[in-house]
Copies of this chain bind each other. A is one copy, B any other.
Amino acid sequence: MRCRRCGEKAQIHLKRHHAAFCAECFLEYYSRQVHRNIRREKMFRPQERLLLVVSGGKDSMALWDFLLRENYRVTAMYIDLGIGEYSKNSRRVVEQFAENHQADLIVVDLEKEYGFTVPWLARQARRSSCSVCGVVKRYLFNKVALEEDFRVVATGHNLDDEAATLLGNTLSWQVGYLARQAPVLPSTHPKLVKKVKPLFTLTERENLAYVLLNRIGFVHEECPYSKGANSILYKETLNRLEEANPGTKQRFLTTFLKNGRKYFQAHRESIELRECEICGQVTTAEVCSFCRLREIAQRRQTEAERT
**Chain A interface residues (CB < 8 Å from chain B):** 170-173, 175, 230, 233, 237, 240-241, 244-245, 248, 251-252, 255-256, 258-260, 263-264, 266-267
Contact = CB atoms under 8 A, between A and B. Distances in A.
> Secondary structure at chain A's binding surface: helix, strand, loop or mixed?
helix
A259 B173 contact: yes
Contact of A255 (B172, B244, B259, B260): B172
Oligomeric state, in number of copies? 2
Contacts of A170: 170, 252
Contact of A172 (B240, B244, B252, B266): B252
A260 B175 contact: yes
Q: Which 7 A-B pairs have the closest CB atoms?
A: A173-B260, A173-B255, A263-B263, A173-B259, A171-B252, A173-B256, A172-B255
A251 B175 contact: no
A255 B169 CA distance: 11
B259 A175 contact: yes
Given A255-B173, A259-B175, A245 B267 contact: no
A263 B176 CA distance: 12
Nearest to A234: B241
A240 B237 contact: yes
Contacts of A172: 251-252, 255
A130 to B, nearest CB: 15
B252 A241 contact: no
A264 B264 CA distance: 9
A247 to B, nearest CB: 10
A251 B240 CA distance: 22
Given A230-B245, A233-B241, A245-B230, A175 B263 contact: yes
